[in-house]
C-alpha cells in the first residue's frame, strides 16, 4: 500500500482534530456561541466517523492502523492548541486552516490511490474532498 505513510498522517490528523475541535467547542465565546458550539460538535462527530472509516481501511488491507496517542502526535501535521477562551473569528480561522490541510492531504491520497487502482481509498477520499470543499465554503461565508 503506497499510501500507508500518507494514510498514517491522515488518520493521525483526524485523531488530533477530534480533540482540537472539542477544545474549540468547549471554549468558544461570543455572540454566536450557540451556532459555533453546535457547528464544532458536528465537526468532531464527522472527524470521529472518518477516523473509524480510515482505520477500518487499514484492517481491510491486512494492516494495523496507528492506535497510540503518541503515534498520532508523532505523525500529525495538524497542531494542537492550548485551551483558552476562543473568539468566533479565532475558531473559524483555526477550523479553516485545518480543513485546507485536510483537503490537500485527501486530494493527494486520492490521486495515489486512483493511480494504484485502489478504488476503495480513492472513493473514500473523494467523499472527504467533497465534504472539505463544502465546509470551506461555509467557513468563508462565516468569515465575512
Q: pLDDT tens, 27-45?
A: 999 999 999 999 999 999 9
User: Where do runs of H (alpha helix) occur along 1-144?
Assistant: 4-27, 33-60, 69-75, 88-115, 119-142
What mean pLDDT, rounded, does the chain reach?
97
CATH number of the domain located at residue range(s) 4-142 in this protein: 1.20.1260.10
State the pLDDT confidence band at 143, using cuts at 50, 70 and 90.
confident
Q: Does the structure show a pLDDT above 80 at 100?
A: yes
Q: Where are the domains of the chain?
A: 4-142
pLDDT value at position 3? 84
CA distance 42 to 62: 31
Q: With the CA atoms of 121, 122, 127 and 133 taken in that order, what torsion angle do they form, in degrees rounded to the nearest 10?
A: 120
Amino acid at each position: 500500500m503506497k499510501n500507508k505513510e500518507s494514510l498514517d498522517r491522515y488518520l493521525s490528523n483526524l485523531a488530533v482534530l477530534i480533540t482540537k475541535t472539542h477544545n474549540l467547542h468547549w471554549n468558544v465565546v461570543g455572540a454566536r456561541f450557540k451556532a459555533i458550539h453546535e457547528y464544532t460538535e458536528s465537526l468532531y462527530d464527522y472527524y470521529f466517523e472518518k477516523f473509524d472509516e480510515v482505520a477500518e481501511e487499514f484492517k481491510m488491507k491486512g494492516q494495523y492502523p496507528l492506535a497510540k496517542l503518541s503515534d498520532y502526535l508523532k505523525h500529525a501535521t495538524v497542531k494542537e492548541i492550548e485551551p483558552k477562551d476562543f473568539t468566533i473569528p479565532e475558531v473559524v480561522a483555526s477550523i479553516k486552516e485545518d480543513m485546507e490541510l485536510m483537503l490537500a492531504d485527501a486530494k493527494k491520497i486520492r490521486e495515489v490511490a486512483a493511480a494504484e487502482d485502489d478504488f476503495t481509498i480513492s472513493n473514500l477520499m473523494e467523499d472527504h474532498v467533497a465534504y472539505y470543499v463544502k465546509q470551506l465554503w461555509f467557513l468563508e461565508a462565516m468569515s465575512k
